Amino acid sequence: MKSSIYKLTKLTIDIYNKKVSLMPEEAKLFQLNTYSRLILLNIMKGHYSGKYLSAEEIIKNIHNIYGSRASIVKCLQKAYKLNLIEKDYLELISKKTAALFSCCCAVAAISCNSKKVKEAEEFGKYLGIIFQIKDDLFDYSKNRIGKPTKEDLKTPKITLPLIYSLTNASPKEKKIIKSILRNKNFSSKNKTEINRFIEEKKGFDYAYSLMIDYKNKALEVLKNFPQNKSKESIKLLLDFAIERKY
């Protein structure tokens, strides 16, 4: 395992020092920590299979997971457009937050020689989607811990509650809300207006219902694993991800 840690460290440093060529948009989307976690996954696979991948092969695998460079740029651009649709939003978080959770679950499965790595990855993806939707809900809350409550709106990065609400709004309502969102001097009053709009359009309720849908998908995946205390704890983790207060 020491050799694995050494390889992970060296590859990460090589990428950081740009010995391995990265496009600007790739660095912007993934950042160093994203590459590190995917490198770790490959290192773990190598540790148990005896075959380690080169930095170039790892980056090629990353592109296979996330798509072409053109699709990466396109995905990035959509994240800050006021006409972002739900499909693109889910694609974006699947390639970021959900990819992290998926990777962590896969590493855990590999580390214990499990034959259900794919199932673990799938479960992690669903858990990650739930986590990110919940995190986005906090951006509309007065009790947000960490980054400022209006940070994502001020950018503005459009998230699920607002996407759903805009989709179900009249042309006149859309025009008013988008005008508010384009305001560079976004205020607490503006935030209250946005929250009221989302509540009227049931955007928060929809986000919650979608988390439940992904919870059910995750529970279906868990049926592939033996019944034990660990499995019950994992089920509780799903509930925590949905109901957490921070």
More reliable by pLDDT, 146 or 208: 208
Q: Give the CA angle between residues 135, 58, 97 to the nearest 5°.
A: 5
More reliable by pLDDT, 229 or 65: 229
Residue range 119-143: mean pLDDT, rounded: 90
Give CA 34 to chain center in angstroms: 11
pTM (two decimals)? 0.74
Which of 103-112, 138-147, 162-171, 199-208 has the weakest average pLDDT?
138-147
Percentage above 70 pLDDT, the chain:
61
Percentage above 90 pLDDT, the chain:
38
Residue range 126-155: mean pLDDT, rounded: 73
pLDDT tens by residue, 19-75: 444 444 444 444 444 555 555 656 555 555 556 556 566 556 655 655 555 555 566
Q: What is the pLDDT of residue 148?
A: 47
